[in-house]
Amino acid sequence: MGEGREQNEAFVTLATNDTYALGCLVLGSSLRRVGTTRQLAVMVTSGVSQSMRQQLGGLFNQVVEVNVLDSSDTCNLELLGRPDLSVTFTKFHCWRLTQYQKCVFMDADTLVVQNVDELFDREELSAAPDAGWPDCFNSGVFVYVPSEQTYRNLLSFAVTGGSFDGGDQGLLNLYFNKWATEDIGKHLPFTFNVVSQAFYSYLPAFKQFYDNIKVVHFIGAVKPWHHAYNTASRTVTQLPGTGHSQQFLQMWWNIFMDSVQPNLDPQLYESSVVSQNLSCSGIAGDLANMSLERSGEDGAMRDDRERKLQWEQGQADYMGVDRFDNIKARLDEKIAQPTPSGSGKAPEDQPPPPSE
C-alpha cells in the first residue's frame, strides 16, 4: 500500500457532548489496538469541553470543530423513540473533510474488534444492512468520499425531502436510495456493523459467525457507559432489559478502563455541574472520578447514573429529585466551593455561573 493512502484516508467519528466523546475515545483506542494504518479524525461541537478535546487530541490525528445541525423533526423522532437524535444531522459535516480522499464514518457507540482497513477499498456509499429493516442501510458505519458538493446536496435534500426517521439514517437512505438494489459491492457484510442486541434474535448465527465479527454497534438509547461497572471485580453489570452482548460490553469497558479512564480530567464533574450541563458532561464527570481502590461501584453513584440516563432521555423527575429547588441548591453549593488548588485551571477558564 502506498504511503499516500495512510495520509489520505481516515476513520471519522462525532461527539456533540462529553458523554459521546467517551465513546469516541474507546472507538479510537479500539482502532489503534487493531493496528489501523489510516488517520483518525473526530468532529466535535461546542458541547464538548476543552479538557475532553485535549484527550481526544492525544488519540486522534485531527479534532475538527463543527456546528450543530439539528433536524428538529420531533414527530419522526418520537416514532423512532429517540427524541435525542435530532442532532445526528451534524454527521453530514463529515463530507466536508475534503483533506481526505476517502473516509469511513463510525458512530461513537461502535467498537472495532478486528482490523477493518479493507473498507477503504469500497466505494461511496457502502454500508451494512440495518438489522431492523434490512432494505435500509445502517448509518452507524459507512464508507464515503468527502465532497463539499455532496454536503450541499445533502443539506438541500434535508430541506426538500427530509428524513423519514428524523435522524441522519432516514435522510441518507433517501438520498442514496439505490443502495438496496444497484450494486451488491456497496453492501458491507453485517460483520462490519453488528448490532449488539442482534445476537438475541438469531443466536445460532451469532455462534456460527462470532469469529468474523469486526465491528460491534451498541445501538439504542442505552450505551455501554450507562451500565454499572464494578471496580473491585472489574466486571460490568448490565442494566436490566437492555440485551447487549455481555462479552462485547465487557470488551468496551476493558478498553475504557485501560486506555481512557486513567486520563479523564476529574474536573469534568465540577464543570458539568457548574455549567448546568448535567446531561452532557455528567456521566463523563462521574466516570472520571471512579476509583479502583473502592470496593465496587456504590449504590448512590449507580442511582445517580441511572437518573442521568433518564434525564438524557427527556424523563427528568421534575417533581422529585430533579425539581428546580434541588438543582438550584446543588448549583449554589458547587459555586460556593473554592476551586481546588493544583487543578491547573486558571479562574478565567472556569465556565460562567448559570444566569438566574
User: Please, are residues 217 and 196 in contact by the beta-carbon 8 Å criterion?
Assistant: yes
Where in 106-145 is the site for ligand UDP (CB under 6 A)?
Answer: 107-109, 140
Q: Please tell me whether residue 177 adopts helix, strand or coil conformation.
A: coil
Determine, following the binding rule CB under 6 A, whether residue 45 of this chain makes contact with ligand GLC.
Answer: no
The number of C-alpha atoms within 13 Å of 219 and in the hemisphere containing its C-beta is 21
Determine, following the binding rule CB under 6 A, whether residue 88 of this chain makes contact with ligand UDP.
Answer: yes
Q: How far is the CB of 46 from ligand UDP (least distance, A)?
A: 12
Bridge partners of 216?
111, 194
Q: Return d(Cα 324, Cα 303) in angstroms, integer.
A: 19
Q: Return d(Cα 154, Cα 175) in angstroms, integer.
A: 7
Q: How far is the CB of 304 from ligand UDP (least distance, A)?
A: 20
87 binding partner (options ligand GLC, ligand UDP, Mn ion, none; Cβ < 5 to 8 Å by kind) = ligand UDP
Q: How far is the CB of 211 from Mn ion (least distance, A)?
A: 23
Task: Cell 438489522: give the residue.
Answer: 131
Where in 12-31 is the site for ligand UDP (CB under 6 A)?
Answer: 13-17, 20
Contacting residue, 83, 161, 162, 220, with ligand UDP by CB under 6 A: 220
Determine, following the binding rule CB under 6 A, whether residue 73 of this chain makes contact with ligand GLC.
Answer: no
Determine, following the binding rule CB under 6 A, whether residue 73 of this chain makes contact with ligand UDP.
Answer: no
Q: Smaller CB distance to ligand GLC: residue 24 or 274?
A: 24
What's the CA angle centered on 163, arms 161 and 168, to 5 degrees?
Answer: 125
Positions in the binding site for Mn ion (CB under 5 A):
107, 109, 140
User: Please, are residues 38 and 15 in contact by the beta-carbon 8 Å criterion?
Assistant: no
Taking the CB of residue 164, how many other CB atoms lie within 10 A of it? 16
Bridge partners of 143?
104, 126
Q: How far is the CB of 14 from ligand GLC (least distance, A)?
A: 9
Q: Smaller CB distance to ligand UDP: residue 87 or 215?
A: 87
**Cis ω before 203 (30° cut-off from 0):** no
Q: Smaller CB distance to ligand UDP: residue 297 or 309?
A: 309
Task: Cell 436510495: give the residue.
Answer: 177
Q: How far is the CB of 21 from ligand UDP (least distance, A)?
A: 8
Where in 99-118 is the site for ligand GLC (CB under 6 A)?
Answer: 107
All cell numbers assigned to 329 = 441548591
Give the torsion sign (CA, 182, 161, 192, 45). Answer: positive
Angle subtended by helix axes 324-336 and 267-274, to nearest 10 = 130
Where in 123-142 is the site for ligand GLC (CB under 6 A)?
Answer: 138-140
Q: Which residues bind ligand UDP (CB under 6 A)?
A: 13-17, 20, 84-85, 87-88, 107-109, 140, 219-220
Q: Which residues bind ligand GLC (CB under 6 A)?
A: 85, 88, 107, 138-140, 165, 167-170, 219
